[in-house]
Chain A
């Protein structure tokens, strides 16, 4: 199979590395040619450099979009040239624009996987797995902490001041970014961190995945200083690589007459985990293992158990919380 990796940053480089063994032809393109060349040199054959996105996606089985912005335009170009698409987009706007491509993707019989990174991608898989034992899912609440590369850090900064959307009582509700502080427990060593609403894409991908779900929300961890300064341009330089990141996915539902809560989580470097999730998704796309064509998130598209098993084999491990978690919502 021929795989095109668009973007050779923190996530794209990891995705390319993960795809190196599976791909017969691995083409890498980046606006920064030197960065793409460094990735290709490090990987060796069958990785090779191309100078243009159209050259990269023409003849490719699947295109992995690991760029900061412009996912919809790139996805359209890939679809026009007969390639399936795996996008690691994680912003509300980018994912929303991708979802609008659903009719075109279905008409072409193509897969477009939106948000196939650490968050919302892995969060979607965890939510699907957490819901496996429930007859019905009432609520899904996601918290994430940490950032990957510079684009991810900028997105984190913007998300705190951007408007958030939540699925509440079967309707979309707009909420103010930075509101809704909630103390969330992540897997060790992150532990308890305050999280706030933000411009995150999880609700857009999770609400359609669970019939009858009443509430879907997403929050991101931030210090009070980050929250207070989020309305300003990012003051410092975005780090090349963030520290460990965490996910916490709480699913509330029913097993017969009883109500139950299941909490799953993960901890990893976000860009590393995102690269692995994107690569495994790309392999599944090529193998035709997704549930349907069109645009959707991983909660709708993959069987969670084999997907998580493959992630674990590649070093990205999930965890389940067993016990009683304390938490407080303060407004």
Chain B
């Protein structure tokens, strides 16, 4: 019975950690070269 409780506790802790990691994420933002330019004038003729 004690082993079962420990197993359930471990599973619960693991699930909580997984949830936090899932929400926080681990990836950064990849670099981007260049930028946005508004369409105007010659672009819309």
Give the interface of A toward B (CB within 8 A).
183, 185, 187-188, 192, 194, 224-225, 228, 264-265, 305-306, 308-309, 312, 317-328, 330
Contact = CB atoms under 8 A, between A and B. Distances in A.
Question: 8 shortest A-B CB distances, which residue pairs?
Answer: A323-B34, A326-B30, A309-B44, A319-B36, A187-B36, A324-B33, A318-B39, A323-B33
A256 B23 CA distance: 45
A301 to B, nearest CB: 18
A236 to B, nearest CB: 17
Contacts of B30: 183, 326-328
A306 B44 CA distance: 7
Given A188-B35, A319-B36, A328-B27, 18 more contacts: A183-B27, A183-B29, A187-B36, A192-B29, A192-B32, A194-B25, A224-B23, A225-B23, A309-B45, A317-B40, A318-B38, A318-B39, A319-B37, A320-B37, A322-B35, A323-B35, A325-B34, A330-B27
Contacts, number: 67
Contact residues of A: prevailing secondary structure: mixed
Interface residues of B, number: 20
B22 A224 contact: yes
A259 B31 CA distance: 23
28 contacts: A183-B27, A188-B35, A188-B36, A192-B29, A194-B25, A224-B23, A224-B25, A225-B23, A228-B22, A265-B36, A306-B44, A308-B44, A312-B40, A317-B40, A318-B38, A319-B37, A320-B36, A320-B39, A320-B43, A321-B35, A322-B36, A322-B37, A323-B34, A324-B32, A324-B33, A325-B32, A328-B30, A330-B27
A323 B36 CA distance: 8
Contacts of B35: 188, 321-323
Contact of B39 (A183, A224, A312): A312
Nearest to B45: A305
A325 B32 CA distance: 5
Interface in B1-45: 22-25, 27, 29-40, 43-45
B42 to A, nearest CB: 11
B27 to A, nearest CB: 7
B34 A321 contact: yes
Nearest to A223: B23
B20 to A, nearest CB: 11
Contact of A326 (B22, B31, B45): B31
